[in-house]
Structure 1
Amino acid sequence: MDVSGFMHKYYDWAAFEVFVKDLYEGDGDVTVQRDITEVDRYGARRQTDVKIVRRSRFHKFTTLVECKRWKEPVGRDRIDVLASSIEALGANNGAIFTTSGFEEGAIAYAKGKGIDLFVVRDLTPEEWGLPGRHLSLYLHVNAAEISDVAFAAQATLLIDEAPSDSKIDLALNPSQALDPDFDLFSVKTGERGMNLVGILGDAHGMILSTLGQSVGVFDDGKEATLEINARCEIDLTRTPFRQLRLPAFAARIERIGFRLRAHISQSAINVDRGANLDFAVMVESYVSDKRLLAHRRAGDVSIVFREAEDVEKPAPADEPIKIGSLLHVQCSPWVGLGDAKANRIGVTAQLLRVVVEADGKKPQLSLVAEAAIAA
């Protein structure tokens, strides 16, 4: 039994009749009755699955409905039976609801008799929105922190007496990325250019993205965290903007070495889009070609209808998410790792070098080494 949709709940004729009756309830000033038997104008007894009487100020409009929860398509003979009941009981029109479709020729015949034909079916994956009702995905949340920052630089003293501590007090945070004290100057023209902390943050993001993309689903998709330790370097030799001016000295920076510790935190995402619904189905008219998506939330009485959009349009350029897809979320360089612990630890086999090229305040970064993880 297919339980990916909702029609399995209406497994027999009685349940299906109640379902169709519910579709008509609340549609204006109507009286809806199920499984009634009446004596027609010729004295014969006739049974109707669902009878709908709609009233206006001056008129009464009666619709007779047959419900066929069948495995086989509904034939023309059932249309004849319903047409006979409409005439004998003085009804205005009729409809047949089924889950199995209609035989060839039945649709044109029904149009001539003023009878509408409806198929009730489960939604397709496209109508749910790909990949369908049930989502089963994996999520990697990637974060990293930088440590052991070391500079390959030449310093020029700007004051008479050298300070006892000449280290560069550098911290990876957004405030320093906007601090003009960490702007780099051109060694050719003296012009102010890009920010050193901003470059470090951009390099952090580029390396973390490369590491994250190199890791697929691991540990059979279980919730786990993989730690990757990488030796990294920022190469400033291809840009003239590599002079940092501090109160005591000016540093001509060639390279910046550091260690990056990254965490790939894995979790599974399982979502049932229909979990809070009593049902969600498509009701298709084979006479008017109208399609209505009908759904009812669990615990509600009323059914919500909306006209279905055309799903047979060209697919977008981007590939839709597929079952088992891996989604990546990358944290900002300013987030860090905190006290998070890893289940597994890996080390990159190569130095990851980020080359900086810039003529002004907008640096161009490129990663010249691929991450090779030994876990």
Structure 2
Amino acid sequence: MATARKERTASLLSRFVKNWGGFEELIANMHKTGDVSVQRDVKLTGVRGVPRQIDVLVTHKRGPYEFKTIIECKYWNAKIKRSHVDAMVTAIQDLNVSKGVFFTTKGYQSGAKKLAKSAGIDIFVVRELTDREWGGPGRQWEFCVQVITRSIGNLKLNNAFVVQATAREQAPHFDVHIVLGSGEGRTETPAFNAQKAPHDCTLEYLLETGSRKALDQVTIANTTFNGRTDCVVYMKIERVLMPFEPPLQVKLGSAWVTCPSIEFELGIRVDQKQISGDRAKYWAHAVAIEDCVNEISYAAGKRHTDEFATIQPMADAKEQATDGRGEEVKNGSFIRIFSNEYFNFAEVSRLTPVVIPDLMSLKPTSSDAP
């Protein structure tokens, strides 16, 4: 698969350029940024009276001033020679234009580079963008993505009792109605500590943080299912126990309920999908341009949806490597996304639960409980 991806990447420039005429068209389109006038295959007559064929003519007007740049497009199998640059110097003088530029795909001989630098002629090499220049993970991407969703069922307030002014009435079972997630139906059940001091949390918050902690213990890193193909996998954890010290107090309706621990079953749904794509399909053209005199690289491109093309300097590779973004996601990576939404516990109610001893006593941290 990696070999096929490399071959497809290598053929991208040939997709934009079919022949020498296509190369001229590419260079012309690159310069259509909206700031200049661009003409292809133009004939200009100089002071000597000799017509000269110009591959691409770029005209830039600013107030009463007009600047013309003539561009030679060489889609050759050999490097540009000094004699070609020398001919460009003559053409600039004869046509009285502002600038001369070369574009090629094969490079320049040393003599051509020296003359171009001394004569003020820009010389560029057009090449493929590297994967790093496309931006991680590259032009083509392929991942295995898992979206993990939770569900809570059979919630119990263990050894709970109602707190009254003069007595404590044992109440082993409470009808607790809660709705988790970020939807409009979400409930907010106040939770307090044993001294009844307000605490900035709810029963819903405790269940969400506790179930996420349990989920982290259950989830096996970099685990895929069914050969990384698209599938849905369910799991159910028999018992997640959350003890509280001091005991938790929850307001259910008009009653205050105290309980030393909460217990529930945890349902897990894993939606696995293999995704891939090619960034190049969104671009009419996308190439790198190397300035062989000033040693600066540019990214030139135009999306299918854009009116104009862009040519922008590319960040230095060393700067990209130290820009603080961390390690890039690589092709073939396994990506896990934890959803804050909850699915219906009925989807896993008939599954045989998995018993994991480490989850039998999930003690909340100070941020999890009042």
State the TM-score, normalizing by the size of structure 1: 0.76
Which residue is equivalent to 1:335?
Answer: 342
List gaps (5 residues or longer) in structure 1.
366-375
* SS, match of residue 110 in structure 2: coil
Which residue is equivalent to 2:3?
Answer: none
Q: What is the distance in 1 between the residues matched to 2:39 and 2:294?
A: 23
Q: What is the distance in 1 between the residues matched to 2:76 and 2:352?
A: 58
- 321, 332, 345: which one aligns with 2:329: 321
Q: C-alpha offsets along residues 244-279 of structure 1, whole Å, 9 cap, x if unaligned?
A: 577998765343332211111111222322322211
Question: How do residues 41-120 of structure 1 correspond to structure 2 at under 5 angstroms?
Answer: 41=48, 47-52=53-58, 61-120=67-126
Give the 3 Å change call, closer, same or farther, for CA 234–51 of structure 1 in structure 2: same
Give the 3 Å change call, closer, same or farther, for CA 232–44 of structure 1 in structure 2: same
- 266, 269, 280: which one aligns with 2:272: 266
Give the 3 Å change call, closer, same or farther, for CA 82–257 of structure 1 in structure 2: same
Give the 3 Å change call, closer, same or farther, for CA 46–328 of structure 1 in structure 2: same
Q: C-alpha offsets along residues 121-173 of structure 1, whole Å, 9 cap, x if unaligned?
A: 2222222221112221222111121222334316478588979x852122342
Which residue is equivalent to 1:121?
Answer: 127
Give the 3 Å change call, closer, same or farther, for CA 190–83 of structure 1 in structure 2: closer
Question: How do residues 22-37 of structure 1 correspond to structure 2 at under 5 angstroms?
Answer: 22-25=29-32, 28=35, 30=37, 32-34=39-41, 36=43
Report how many residues are paired. 353
| Identical amino acids, percent of aligned pairs | 21
Which residue is equivalent to 1:178?
Answer: 188
Q: What is the distance in 2 between the residues matched to 1:63 and 1:286?
A: 18
- CA contact 1:171–1:197 (8 Å) conserved in 2: no
Which residue is equivalent to 1:363?
Answer: 368
Q: What is the distance in 1 between the residues matched to 2:56 and 2:162?
A: 94
Moved more, 198-207 or 305-314: 305-314
Q: What is the distance in 2 between the residues matched to 1:273 and 1:101?
A: 27
- 211, 225, 230: which one aligns with 1:218: 225
Displacement of 1:325? 1.8
Which residue is equivalent to 1:13?
Answer: 20
List gaps (5 residues or longer) in structure 2.
1-5
Which residue is equivalent to 1:369?
Answer: none
> What CA RMSD, in Å, does the superposition of the two structures yield over aligned residues?
3.9
More helix by share: 2
Give the 3 Å change call, closer, same or farther, for CA 270–40 of structure 1 in structure 2: same
- 149, 159, 169: which one aligns with 2:175: 169
- The amino acid across from 2:331 in the alignment is I
Question: How do residues 198-217 of structure 1 correspond to structure 2 at under 5 angstroms?
Answer: 198-214=205-221, 216-217=223-224
Q: What is the distance in 1 between the residues matched to 2:153 and 2:21?
A: 70
- 279, 303, 317: which one aligns with 2:309: 303
Q: C-alpha offsets along residues 78-134 of structure 1, whole Å, 9 cap, x if unaligned?
A: 212322333445544311101222233532320212211112222222222211122
Q: C-alpha offsets along residues 203-247 of structure 1, whole Å, 9 cap, x if unaligned?
A: 11222233345462221221111111112232425x113355779
Q: What is the distance in 1 between the residues matched to 2:298 and 2:279?
A: 19
Which residue is equivalent to 1:285?
Answer: 291
- CA contact 2:192–2:249 (8 Å) conserved in 1: yes
